Amino acid sequence: MIRLLFPIWSGRQRLANLLRYCSKNSLLDQGVQVHAASLRMGFGFDLMLSNDLIEMYSKCGVMDTASLVFDRMTERNVVSWTALMCGHLQNGNARATLSLFFQMVFSCLKPNEYTFSTTFKACGILNVPEIGMKIHGMCALTGFESVPVVGNSIVDMYSKCGRINEAVMMFNVLPVKNLISWNTMLAGYTLAGQGEKALLWFHRMLENGEIPDEYTLTTVLKACSRLGKIREGSMIHGFLITSGFPCSGKAAIAGSLIDLYVKCGNLAEARRVFNQIGEKNVISWSALILGYAQEGNLAEAIELFKQLQN
């Protein structure tokens, strides 16, 4: 909670700081109060504050009000459009994001790197590679294609749309390849059911000196699980242990290890990993319960289910 002491406010910058605080902490009620105060103080049509209001309402999930603020603006810049596009994307409306992008372009306003990256994410979610390719062409003409956040979002878009060849081509021309770039390709191959290539990509990544993170390891373990490659999965597990990676404290990795061992028929190892997890989630419980059930050990499966309910 923040205490709003309207009499001591010194102007628009203080209002902006309060709105950003409300946005960061999803404080809708307080944000509404700041909005009301800005109107009383004569800042109703201020560009910077309007942009902050769009972001605040978006972060709080109130897209109708965010759109209303946008519609009432007498002046809009690229930040205004991008803030509303991001808001719709974050709140599950990728179509609105894409629609706003084209409205913005038709209004003769040039997108920036964040506009493009948000739009490519929307294309990936909607699985519209043809539209994504057209926007990619537009992006290449602006020079933003070489910006890491944009390049990675293009790779991600092609991967999610099943256009792995295009994703690889884009990856290869990235001037800077960071961990996000590699993770995006790993996820793309895994999503496309090309586990063997995902594993090859993982080894290539290590050879290039990249240090895997939780997302990397979870993704490659999923690939091992789908392929039934317990040897490779066990080697990754061993790497985690020897490198001191806290598997027990990482629910996603622990869940992937359990799934790997269950699918490869090593329930003893799956149970050992399960027992080491500090905070077990539903995925971990479900994977182990299913493993015991498939093995025919219904008594243990039922016992685990009872423990889950408690």
Its CATH class, for the domain covering 195-310, is mainly alpha
- pTM of the predicted model as reported, rounded to 2 decimal places: 0.86
From CA 199, how far away is CA 228, in angstroms rounded?
Answer: 12
pLDDT for 210 equals 93
State residue 10's pLDDT score: 57
Other C-beta atoms closer than 10 Å to the C-beta of 234 total 17
3-class SS shares of the chain: helix, strand, coil, % to 5: 75, 0, 25
10-16: average pLDDT: 85
> Tens digits of per-residue pLDDT, 245-283?
776 667 788 889 999 999 998 999 999 999 888 778 888
Residue 268: predicted pLDDT: 92
Contact 182, 214 (CB under 8 A): no
Q: pLDDT band for position 309 (50/70/90)?
A: confident
pLDDT mean over 283-304: 89
How confident is the model at residue 113, as a pLDDT?
98
Q: Distance between CA atoms of 155 and 13, rounded to whole angstroms?
A: 38
CA 298 centroid distance within chain: 37
The length of the chain is: 310
Query: What is the rounded average pLDDT of the residues 116-127?
Result: 98
Give me the pLDDT at residue 129, please: 97
pLDDT, one tens digit per residue, over 84-116 is 999 999 999 999 999 999 999 999 999 999 999
For the chain, the C-alpha Rg in angstroms (whole number) is: 24
**How much is the pLDDT for 7?**
47
Report the pLDDT value the prediction gives residue 204, as an integer from 0 to 100: 94
- Residue-range domain boundaries for the chain: 7-75, 89-176, 195-310
Residue 162, pLDDT above cutoff 50: yes
Mean pLDDT of 153-181: 96
| Average of per-residue pLDDT values in the chain | 92
